[in-house]
Amino acid sequence: MRHLVTSLLTMAVLLLSSVFTDKGFITQGLAADRPVVRVGVLKFGTVSWELDTIKTRKLDEAEDIDLQVVDLASNQATQVALQGGGVDMIVTDWLWVSRQRTEGADYTFAPYSTAAGSIMVPAGSDIRSLGDLKGRKIGIAGGPLDKSWLMLRALTMQKHGFDPDKDSAKTFGAPPLLNEQVRNGGVDAVLNYWNFAARLKAAGLRELATVEEIARELGISTDVPIIGYVFSEAWAAGNAKAVEGFLRASKVAKEVMGRDDGEWQRLRPLTRAEDDATLTALRDGYRAGIPTAWGAAEREDAARVYDILTKLGGHELVGASPHLADGTFWAGSSF
């Protein structure tokens, strides 16, 4: 019954999100002579920028594959599509992968980005350190189990002697709404995803701390990829050429976006940057998140992050596994 429901939900999601063009539905097209890789993404999410670079520069064709981008409405919709077989890959975090593996799935993770988010305050705020957040109004993107929020709580409890979950006035909300609230004084500080924090930085707000800096203070010494391309091991085993080709194309796209400012001018409509300062902040934020290493040290630090999050998020966050599940990270991922 569970598989039937998942399949029906997937069909509904794909029908609602497919775009009809003069060549048909993009979710249904098949390359005549190249393996197809269907990647499910949020239409205006940051991942779509990289995939657009791959398609525009024909990096997928150079790898003899056909990338098909499936636009979906939400992160949950991408997960449903992957679980139901409507797409081959999505971008999500390795916490979700580990939990799925604990429950019997075979999903695995290849790095996409180390970018997480930042705590932003108005330029003139008297909040100068994380310790100053005690008793303040804090806006948090996501929910109570958001990874960045749990990391912030862990650090303030360890280094500053208070838990903002109990000792500050917190409000959870959608990233754009939180940006408006911190700009108009509705909250004193906001913990938001990196691309929304970049918009605030472009608008003149001040960065109090990045999630990466918080991780460093918690003893995480490497840049751990937070989100990555996630796919089934069984699918990868039967489509090794497609997986390797796609990940190589992704790496080349990152290299292009990392050095070519002109590429960002081309991508400007997709970023929806309101002005040059915002486009620059988004470009720099993306570049800062490009992974440069993915070896034993990074994987060990990921396990440490998992343990930190488990202490606060518990079963509701990680499910039945107290430690990162074996196989969470794809054995073929390398830099």
pLDDT value of residue 17: 47
Residue 172's H or E segment, with its range, is strand 169-173
Percent residues over pLDDT 90 in the chain:
86
Smallest CA-to-CA distance from 245 within 75, 113, 110, 114 is with 110
Sort 330 into a burial class: Cβ within 10 Å, 0-12 / 13-18 / 19+: buried
For 250-292, the pLDDT digits (tens) are 999 999 999 999 999 999 999 999 999 999 999 999 999 999 9
> What's the pTM value of the predicted model, to 2 decimals?
0.89
pLDDT category at 149 given cuts 50, 70, 90 is: very high
Lowest mean pLDDT among 121-130, 159-168, 313-322: 313-322
Q: Do 120 and 201 meet the contact criterion of CB atoms below 8 Å apart?
A: yes
In whole angstroms, what is the distance from residue 113 CA to residue 210 CA?
Answer: 15
Instruction: Please tell me the number of Cα atoms within 13 Å of 35 on its side-chain side.
Output: 16
Q: What is the total residue count of the chain?
A: 335
